[in-house]
Amino acid sequence: MPPSKDRGERLRRARLSLEGLSVGDAFGERFFGPVEEVAPRIEARRVPPAPWRYTDDTEMAMSIVEQLDDRGAIDPSDLVHRFAQRMDVARGYGRGAYEILSAIRDGRPWHSVTANAFGGMGSFGNGAAMRVAPLGAFFEDDLERVVAEATRSAEVTHAHPEGIAGAIAVAIASALCASSDRYAPRKFLQAILEHVPRGYTYDGIEEACGLDDDCGPIVAAKTLGNGSGVTAPDTVPFCLWVVAQHLEGTYEEALWATVSALGDRDTTCAIVGGALVLRTGPEGIPAAWRVAREALPTWAGGVPTA
């Protein structure tokens, strides 16, 4: 457990990440629909009307922050039961997550349910990555601990190595954003790669390192994916490329860049928002966006909304 003297600061960072994640999640969710209708709204930067309802991305991230507040570390069995008990199917859970969490809610052991998912392969979806940024913020000063805790947070629903790798990559990105270190875009991605297991997600992040800084998000997404496949390799590299490109920029610009690539836009915006807000601070999120987002529970607030 982290020393008590810095517990408050760790929780402040985790709640700030949750704030950025949840606003991004709710923002991105408002841009689903026919491309011919959505694309002009994005190009014109038309902010969606309130309210912005958050999705399963935020709901699961809240369970992580809640457990870190309660225990200071990830307890897989406790965490997955929090996921299962909190699950609100109206939040947009994917079929795989719904089946896993429903089985756990019904009393089946999570180890076997998760391992047997997807024909025994385990899930390599982007769900473990979408919820993990607050964990990276909490353990920001110990990257080995970030890897270990992110692994534990992922394996309860994502037994496949790629699902776990996606969570590790996003958690490390979040920790790096929370640090005082400064990075050029390529160096930032390379620093993440030092901690990510080899595989398709790793390869995608490595490919992101080779993209021109000025190629733009749509071109980047054509190379890296935009989450349309709802897998970690198809989602995480693009999100981290966006974060890398906006380390010295603004939260608002990063979110518009992310959503312009379409794809799994609530999740891509959640990942980008949860990491980048640790660099911009709470003031980086437009005040109107924070007000538009559906209110989080009081315990999860930690950051004023106006």
Residue type, 172: I
Whether residue 265 is contained in a domain is answered as yes
Model confidence at 305: pLDDT above 60: no
pLDDT at position 224: 98
Q: What is the mean pLDDT of residues 48-64?
A: 97
pLDDT at position 87: 95
Whether residue 214 is contained in a domain is answered as yes
pLDDT at position 119: 79
Whether residue 1 is contained in a domain is answered as no
Give the domain range for residue 203. 18-300
Question: Do 250 and 258 form a contact (C-beta atoms < 8 A)?
Answer: no
pLDDT at position 3: 45
pLDDT band (50, 70, 90) for residue 89: very high
Tens of pLDDT, residues 254-302? 999 999 999 999 999 999 999 999 999 999 999 999 999 999 988 786 4
Tens of pLDDT, residues 159-178? 999 999 999 999 999 999 99
Q: How many domains would you assign to the chain?
A: 1
Average of per-residue pLDDT values in the chain = 94
Tokens of 10: 């760790």
Strands, E assignment, the chain: none
Whether residue 123 is contained in a domain is answered as yes
Whether residue 305 is contained in a domain is answered as no
CA distance 250 to 272: 11
Whether residue 283 is contained in a domain is answered as yes
Lowest-confidence pick of 29-33, 95-99, 115-119, 188-192: 115-119
Whether residue 10 is contained in a domain is answered as no
pLDDT band (50, 70, 90) for residue 306: very low
pLDDT at position 1: 44
Whether residue 5 is contained in a domain is answered as no
CA distance 176 to 164: 18
- What's the CATH number where 118 sits? 1.10.4080.10
pTM comes to 0.95
